[in-house]
Structure 1
Amino acid sequence: MTTLIPPLGGGDSLDHAITSFVNVHLPPSALLGDIKTPTDHQHFFSVISRVPIGTLSLSIGLLPAQKARTVIYAQYSMRRMVTDPSGHKVPIMSFRTQQLPLLRSLAQIKVLEKMAPWVIERFRNPTVDARVACHMTTCRSSEPATVC
């Protein structure tokens, strides 16, 4: 059985779910490690150290898709016409409800294009604390554009 996890703060580019099995018994050897609570938190962070790298890669990799999506959205909003109360045809882009998502996406694209190399440089710097690098990748991926 798979249960969809509610979206987390701001991001909606990936869905997260929990998969569980009913009446399936696994041997202890199927576990990835010891079942007791770890006492060394640094060990935990070293084990999951690849998660921030994946987060960074996914979010930077989605930037070209965000650009394409924004262009399609803008073109559609300029082409799609509606009739205003006076009988004139106007593009739906003339409505604030169309403009704001487009402007937000454009702003995010510009900021993220400048921010990505900066985050990558600091993430790869061995003198930067791993926790700080992890937080930078989380900050980078927490607010993808929501257009359409």
Structure 2
Amino acid sequence: MLRQSLSSLEISTKGEGFDDITGAINGLIAASGLQLGSATIASQHTSCSLTINENADPRVLVDLAAFLRALVPPEGVRPISGQGERRAWVHDDEGPDDMPAHIRTALTCTSLVLPFQSGRLLLGTWQAVYVWEHRARPHRRRFSLHLLGE
């Protein structure tokens, strides 16, 4: 019989970077009693994102963060051609990392749909689910987890 479960997950980030939430998601799946189905996890914020990536070599995460920081620098935007003056971000209500965090979130994912079996996410050997914090300082982040399965 098909059942569903809705729960929330709160994570304290350390500031810009990655937090592995695979274990926390697996814990909520196990607590639901569901064995087989799909899990939808969605961020309730506009300045952090979700990603699945390698959990074996931390240099992968360092390089990902460096790439996105170079693509969306905190100093502002310049024409795609690279020519012309850099313009500071207009939206900076919460500091200089405010607008870059929103753009980085728009370029990445705010939700994931993942299969689970035997009460655990079906991930590859070297995969983990991460919260990717785009703000410089620590934040308390909230996610909804919707499970559909049996």
Indicate whether the TM-score tops 0.5. no
TM-score using structure 2 length: 0.29
Ranked by relative contact order (alpha carbons within 8 Å, sequence separation 6 or more), the top structure is 2
TM-score using structure 1 length: 0.29
Hey, which of these two has a bigger chunk of strand by percent? 2
**Structure of higher CA gyration radius:** 1
